[in-house]
Each structure stands twice: as C-alpha cells, then as structure tokens.
Amino acid sequence: MSTPKLRGMHWMIWFVALMLSFPARVFSQEVVATEVLDEWFYSRLLWGVMVGAISGIVIGLADLCRLKFEFTGALHINTRARRKLLIWIATIFVLGAIILFVDAWLLYPFGILSLTFSDAVTQVWSNYRMLLVLLATIIVFVLVVAIATRFKSGCRCRYAFIPGPQGK
Amino acid sequence: MSENYLIAVGGTGSRCMQAVIYLAAAGLFQSPMHILIIDPDQNNGDSVKARTLVTNYHALHLASQSRQAERRKRVVGWEKLPEPHLFQSALNVTVGQVNTQQSIFWHNPNPAQRRFGEVIQYQEQKEEFKKFLDLFYEPNDLEMVLDVGYRGRTNVGAVALKQDLEKTASIPGVGLREFLVKLNIDLQAKEARIFVMGSVFGGTGAAGLPTIPQLIANLPAEVMAQDNRARLRYGCAMMTPYFSFPKGSAGSTGPGTDSARHAVATQAALLHYAHVPPGYQHIYFVGAPGRPQTNSNNITGGQNQTNDSHYAELIAALAAWQFFDLPQIPMSDKQLHFADSVQDKTDVGVNWKTLPVNIANTARRETIKRELTIFTTLAYFYRNFLYDRFINGQLYREANWYKDNFGQLDLDEEMSMLQHLYEFSGAYLTWLAQIGETGKAANLQLFRWDALRETDPSLANMYVGNLLDDPLSSSTKRSQAGFDSLYARLDKLVLKQPGTNSAAGLFIFMLHHAVSEFCRENYVWR
C-alpha cells in the first residue's frame, strides 16, 4: 500500500537522515584541509588510472583473450567475454573502494576525531572524490580491455567490445 | 598435370573405388582422374554408393578453394599458406568444361532379364557346337539371368562382359566411349596410366581384369590410334579373397554365390593368368587371411548388396596411388607386388608401418598417415561440432573467422555445399569405422575405431585430438579437450584475400589449414 501520505513520510525520513549526516561531513572537512584532500585525490586519481590500465591489459590479454570456446552453443565467446568484463568491473569497484578507504584511514587520523568506523566508511565512500577515482579507474580499465582485446593478434574475443567487420 | 585412368570392375572394384575417392578427398590424389565403374549389375548397392560419393565429391571439388592465400602473422606481416589440398583431383571432368562431369558408370544397354544363353546365341548354334559349349557351361549357366551380374561364374562373365564392352565402345553416353576418347586425346601428347581394380574370386572382377587390356589392344584404329597404345601403362589391384558372407540358397533366377568357393576360384583364375598373362606392367595382390563377414546376409546382387568396407580396399586404393606416383614405367616392366604385413615370420598387423602395401615399401609412408589423420580429424570435427550449428541458426555469422575473412562471400548461399560436406564426412567416418570392425582380427592399428562413430559432443570433444592410433606418435601433448584447441586455430586465421569466389571453398580451405596445424602440434609431427 503506497498512499501519498505514506510516500511523504518516506521522503521526510530520508531528508532527516541526510541532515543528520551533515555535521560529521562538515566536521571531517574542517579537520582535513581541502588542499590536502585535493592532493590525495589527484595522486589517487593518477594511481587509479594506472591500476585501471595495467589491470585492463592483464585481464584483457590473460583472461578474456583466452576464454575457452564451448563445444555447444555459439561459435564465438563475445557474450561470455562481456559478462566476464562486468564481473571484473564489479570486482575492481569493490576492491578499489576498500583499498581507497584503507588508504584514507591509514593516512588521516579519523580515530582521534572521535569518528566511529562506520562514520569513517560513510565519510570516505560518500565523498565525490572517491567516486571519481573509482570511475576513472573503471573507465580506463574498460577502455584498455577493449583496445587490448581488439588489437591483440588472435584474441578470441576481438570483436566483443569494439565491433569489427560484419561479414555479409 | 597428366590425367590418370581408373577402372573398377564389379562390386569389389566399386568398393575399392570408394576408397580411392576418400583418398582423393584427403589429398593423396591430386592429378585429374577419369574413373569408370564396370558392373553389369546396374543397381548394385556398392556401385550406387560409389556413384553417390562421386556426386558429393564433385560438388565439393567445384567449391574452389583459396589460391595463393596469405595469412596474418602473429606480430606483423603476412605469410604464405600452402595451396589447397583437399578435393583437388578432378574426377571425369569434360575437356574444356570444368563444371561438367562425365558419367563414371558404364551403362549396360542390354535388357536386365537377358539370359546367358541369349548372349552366346546357344539355341542358334549347330548341335555339334552346342555339345562343345556344354563342356564349358552347365544348363544352369545358360539359363542364368544376368540382371545381377555373373554370380561368381567367371566362365560366364568372361564371355558376356567382353562382348558387351566391345559393343558399347563406340556408343555415346554409355560411359566407355567417353573414357576411351579422353584416353586417346591424352595419349597423343604423353604417357597415360590405367589402373584396374577388381576381385579374382568373383564373376565380374575375375572376368574383367584380363579383359580391359585386351579390349583396348583390339580397339579399331579410329577409336584409338595404334601409336598411342604404346604410351599406355597398365597396373591393377587383383583382390584375392578377403571377406566372406553367409551361405545362401539358389534363387529362382539362377545360382547363388558362395564365399567358401572364393579360394578355389582364385586359384583357378591365377592359374589361368599365369598361362595367359593379362598384360599389366604392375600387379598388386591384395587379400586378407582373416576373411571376416562383411555382410550378414547372402545377397547375390542388386541394390541390397552393400558390403561393409574392409582394409584390403584401402590397400588397393593405396596401390593405385603408388602406381600413379611411380616416376616412370618402362613398357617391358613386369612387377608383382604383394600386400604383406609379415616381418621376420611375425605378423606385425596392419598399421602405419605396413602401409601403403607392405613393410619393405616405405615410400611416402608418413604422408599417408598425416593426410589421412588430418582428413579424419576434419570430417570428425565438422560432423560433430560445426554442421548442426551451421544449419540450425547459421551461427557462423557471429564467428570471428567468418567476419574476418568472408567479406562479400556468404555461406548462407552455399548451404547445399555444407550439406554435401556433411554427407561426405559422415560417409567417410562410417567407412572408416567399418574398416575398424571388419579388421578386428588383423591387429589393425590406424585409428581409434571406437571414437569414429561417437556423436555425443562431450565425448567427441575428448576424442577429436586422439583419433590417431600410432605408438610412434607421442601421446603426452595430445589435447583432451580438442574442440577448443582446434577451433581456436580456425578462429585466429585472418587471410589477406579470400582468394576464391566460393564461400564453401574458403571455409574448407581454412578448416583444413586449422586442422593441419592442430594435428601437427597435437601429434608432435616434425
């Protein structure tokens, strides 16, 4: 049952929760200077891009290009390669988020600011910088995978991400 | 390229001819061939099978494969690929018309219900001469209807076949005239070779083997110039007893056949040939001591007479291959070759060390093994893994090898070729499996016989890299999941140009290349 009154109440609860999280964000930002955060962001962005590129090459060439052909079903492995790429994106996203959090946790003294662990997690993961680093990593990863698989000679999924000749 | 001529006489000859066609498909025969099946039993199951096979072969031969193809190298540049190898020998192609095939079958224009007595006009002869004829023929022979051949009666066949062949040598459309005309044209410029295959224990074969050289020798000069005959070289495979069938009873239309008489009949025929040499430069004696049953019924002739294949037929086909491959044959040559697998009084069996004909004959032995293995793997792979996916949903469209190489060529338009290839592959694998079954007693070690009939994809996946049975070939590197390993080779093949206008031809060429590469690595061939 979803009446207009009930929906209004839901929105109210979300709004209150958002408001409650603001003081902690503000507090954290006050403690860690914006310049320091930016410095962290740019350095991690660079690292993220590098990690995305390297893992793109490694995963593209060593895993996706070598997927096994199946003796039944389709005569190509493009669908399986795409599915596998999605799994890798999810894995990189989760791993990246954990690594970035640990990185931030070790570098900045959240502990002495009386932030609980869950507060710190919320603080780091809801920060747009964090999302940007992850996004950049994944975009570079996908691009490198697409290029590596397309141009590696004899790659089994060469047309999975960048279409090739269509035939007749 | 000089043309070779091949004549198969009778049911056994037809079965040997089937083996020749399979070897030609596998690439062992490359020169054009003109073949002729001579069988008065016009609807004989074995010769009908051979004719169907030739139809499929010819269709696949016409699917022209890539010429001067180059493939993309692993890093950079292009490398040349070998020229096409499979289905390359043109069979009975009309001079100047590559797409037209002349008949491979001798059409006997006589009525099927003709009796032997009518052939020799027994009733019209004088009483004295009739008595003379009675010395050679029993009343049964004279009343014998010739609808299903000569039923093991060489004395009947020798007369009837010779007469019929001579009568049809100048009749167009019967098959024999076309054969002789082409032969005569070829002989004007160069030497030509004729190889005849038939049994010496049956009716038609034993009658036909000595008849062919005589028939050609006695042709009128307008059919074949006298000078041309000196450029003819003859070889033959005399098939001695190698199979048996159950005892039957005489039918209403004449006497039946009995395989228990084969040994005696052979002895008599060979004794006759010893006294009257049939005129061959090279004679290959092929037989099998085991004589397994190749038919579970006693069938005198007709469409139901389809015997299982036997390794002796493969040996006969290899004898033809060897004969055509001889560098030169002097006119005065008289050589007997015996198929034999005995070494130091021990029978080593039929294996890659005893082919093509015997242990002493090592010529191009490795070639036979490799080409047969490659063709068997290709047929097995296509039948078990590709055909269904091609026909049901045209799954090749999304395959990398298709996108990379086919451009404007379209396999959709050549479905009939895919069907021909499937039928040919199926027939070949059945033929090979039958050889395995009938040769059980002969220590036959060529292929994994149990694998050949397997159609379950998961088992076939396991077998496809293990079809060759050869103790000399290492088994350590053999693939246990052959589909992936073989298909990956096809998948990565990128040609500079299709080099043909036939999609099916391009596919066969690419598949053959992938299979060759797979077999070389899988069986560690150097």
- What would the DSSP string read from start to end of B104-157? -B----S-TT-BHHHHTTGGGS-HHHHHHHHTT--HHHHH-BGGGTTTT-HHHH
Distance from C-alpha of B475 to C-alpha of B523, rounded to nearest angstrom: 7
Distance from C-alpha of B38 to C-alpha of B32, rounded to nearest angstrom: 20
Q: Do B398 and A74 touch (CB under 8 A)?
A: yes
Domain housing B268: 4-60+88-339
* One domain, residues B133 and B253: yes
% of chain A surpassing 90 pLDDT: 46
Q: Is residue B368 very low, low, confident or very high in pLDDT (cuts 50, 70, 90)?
A: very high
Residue B356 placed within a domain: no
Q: Which of A68, A69, A151, A159 to mutate to test the interface with B (most CBs of B within 10 A)?
A: A69
Beta pairing, strands B70-72 & B33-38: unpaired
* One domain, residues B293 and B430: no
* One domain, residues B169 and B241: yes
Q: Does residue B242 register a pLDDT over 90?
A: no
* One domain, residues B311 and B398: no
Asked if A27 contacts A122 with a C-beta cutoff of 8 angstroms, the reply is no
β-bridge mates for residue B33, sequence order: B4, B91
Structure tokens at B13: 């000859």
Averaged pLDDT of chain B: 86
* One domain, residues B321 and B453: no
Q: Does residue B370 register a pLDDT over 90?
A: yes
Chain B CB contacts of A150 below 8 Å:
none
Chain B CB contacts of A78 below 8 Å:
398
- Provide the pLDDT for residue B34: 94
DSSP state of B25: H
Q: Does B245 touch chain A (CB under 8 A)?
A: no
Asked if B370 contacts B519 with a C-beta cutoff of 8 angstroms, the reply is yes
- Provide the pLDDT for residue B169: 85
Residues 35-94 of A with CB under 8 A from B: 68-72, 74-76, 78
- Provide the pLDDT for residue A26: 46
Give per-residue pLDDT as tens, B37-64: 998 877 777 888 888 899 999 999 999 9
Q: What ipTM does this complex have? A: 0.79
Q: Does B393 touch chain A (CB under 8 A)?
A: no
Q: Which residues does B129 contact at the CB level (< 8 Å), separation at least 6?
A: none
Q: Does A153 touch chain B (CB under 8 A)?
A: yes
Residue B40 placed within a domain: yes
Residue B437 placed within a domain: yes
Residue B259 placed within a domain: yes
Neighbours of B296 (CB within 10 A): 9
Q: Is B240 helix (H, G, I), strand (E, B) or coil?
A: coil
Residue A155 distance to chain B (closest CA, Å): 7
Q: pTM of the prediction?
A: 0.86
What's the domain count of chain B? 2
Structure tokens at A90: 């999810």
β-bridge mates for residue B306, sequence order: none
Give per-residue pLDDT as tens, B177-186: 889 988 988 8
Neighbours of B61 (CB within 10 A): 22
Among all chains, which residue has been given the structure tokens 């005198």?
A: B300
- Number of residue pairs across A and B with CB atoms under 8 Å? 64
* One domain, residues B324 and B253: yes
Q: Does residue B293 register a pLDDT over 70?
A: no
Chain A CB contacts of B389 below 8 Å:
75
Chain A residue closest in CA terms to B382 = A71
C-alpha angle A122-A139-A142 in degrees, rounded to nearest 5: 125
* One domain, residues B104 and B230: yes
Averaged pLDDT of chain A: 82
Q: Which residue, among B54, B50, B34, has the nearest Cα to B42 in the 3D structure?
A: B50
B450, with CB counted inside 10 A (0-12, 13-18, 19+), is: exposed
Asked if B450 contacts B426 with a C-beta cutoff of 8 angstroms, the reply is no
Chain A residue closest in CA terms to B482 = A71
Domain C-terminal end among B320, B339, B358: B339
Comparing CB atoms, the residue among B73, B404, B484 nearest residue A165 is B404
* One domain, residues B312 and B419: no
* One domain, residues B404 and B277: no
Distance from C-alpha of B116 to C-alpha of B160, rounded to nearest angstrom: 7
Distance from C-alpha of A161 to C-alpha of B82, rounded to nearest angstrom: 33
* One domain, residues B384 and B329: no
- How close are the terminal C-alpha atoms of chain B, in Å? 29
Q: Which residue, among B451, B405, B411, has the nearest Cα to B432 in the 3D structure?
A: B451
Residue B74 placed within a domain: no
Residue A56 distance to chain B (closest CA, Å): 20
* One domain, residues B53 and B93: yes
Residue B78 placed within a domain: no
Q: Which residue, among A126, A141, A166, A129, has the nearest Cα to A25 in the 3D structure?
A: A126
Comparing CB atoms, the residue among A74, A156, A167 nearest residue B406 is A167
Distance from C-alpha of B217 to C-alpha of B169, rounded to nearest angstrom: 12
Q: Which CATH number belongs to the domain containing residue B146 in this structure?
A: 3.40.50.1440
Q: Is B514 helix (H, G, I), strand (E, B) or coil?
A: helix
* One domain, residues B334 and B393: no
Q: Does residue B98 register a pLDDT over 80?
A: no
Residue B73 placed within a domain: no
Residue B79 placed within a domain: no
Give per-residue pLDDT as tens, A64-92: 999 999 999 899 999 999 999 999 999 99
- Provide the pLDDT for residue B252: 47
